[in-house]
Amino acid sequence: MKRRLILSAIAAGLPTAAWARYIEPHRFEVTCNRIRLPGVRRKRILHLSDIHISDGMTAGELDAGITAGLASRPDLICVTGDFVSTTVGFDRPGLIRMLRRLSGAAPSFAVLGNHDGGEWLAHCGGSPSTQMIREIVAAAGLHLLHNESTAFDDLTLIGVADYWSGEFHPDRAFAHPPAAAATILLCHNPDAKQPLANRHWDLMLSGHTHGGQVCIPGIHPVWTPVWDKRFVAGLYLWQGRHIFITRGLGSPKHIRAFCRPEVSVLEVG
């Protein structure tokens, strides 16, 4: 009897496992959110994060998501880190081609994530340096905001290095922000909102959480690599400011369950 129950459980789980491994990682969901930023002319932002080209995942497997995002005809593209899962053995030519599609379509800005090099990745056996990914991003035509700021139309864009990388220096990022109607902060890890609470920004764009990646319907995501479990995916209001966290484009280890990869379109202004 016990053996039959075990076999039945395995049989019941096989379709779900196959879906999570082979189907859902390729079912890109385009989400649209309207965010009011007073004084800003209305514009469309394509927000992508957590590409995670590694573990054998190629750029070709993510092309449909990029195509869906570019179909929104964005005025601005923001990428908030984790281009790879590890800094060795990834589809480097494919990543450059993908990023060039973005930079060729609209002005594109980016920050790095914890998987793109630095102290956290070094502890996991990866590179302690972010230099290689920084060079790839630059070669693809994206403007990397590594603890720096810039102007885009009537927006100030401020980007900080990853919170766990050992290169997180908000004093540099916020040192000389250009004057603008509103400030958008690019920051991979949404937990960094707390040390940045006393800085001036109106909207933070983040990733990092993968939305939980493997979720159980009706239950708050079990696995989220953040301290503040209230902020996992979607649009939030925090201390009078907006935070948007995307579930991410890629699927580390090729797994997604009840948490589709996300292409985020934001109408701001």
CA 148 – CA 173 distance, rounded (Å): 4
The model's pTM is 0.93
Q: Which of 229, 153, 219, 160 shows the shortest CA–CA distance to 191?
A: 229
Question: Which domains occur in the chain, in start order?
Answer: 2-268 (3.60.21.10)
110 bridge partner residues? 79, 144
pLDDT of residue 19: 80
3-state secondary structure 148-159: EEEEECCEEEEE
Instruction: Measure Cα distances from 113 to 120, 132, 164 in Å.
Output: 10, 13, 8
pLDDT of residue 210: 97
Pairing state between β 43-48 and 262-268: antiparallel
pLDDT of residue 256: 94
Q: b/e string for 155-180 if b means 16 or more Cβ within 10 A?
A: bbbbbbbbbbbbbbebeebbeebeeb
Secondary structure of the chain: what % helix, strand, coil (to 5)? 30, 25, 45
With a cut of 70, which residues of the chain have pLDDT below it? 1-14
Q: Which of 175, 188, 173, 181 shows the shortest CA–CA distance to 156?
A: 181
Q: Which of 267, 268, 269 shows the shortest CA–CA distance to 32?
A: 267
Structure tokens at 222: 């079990």
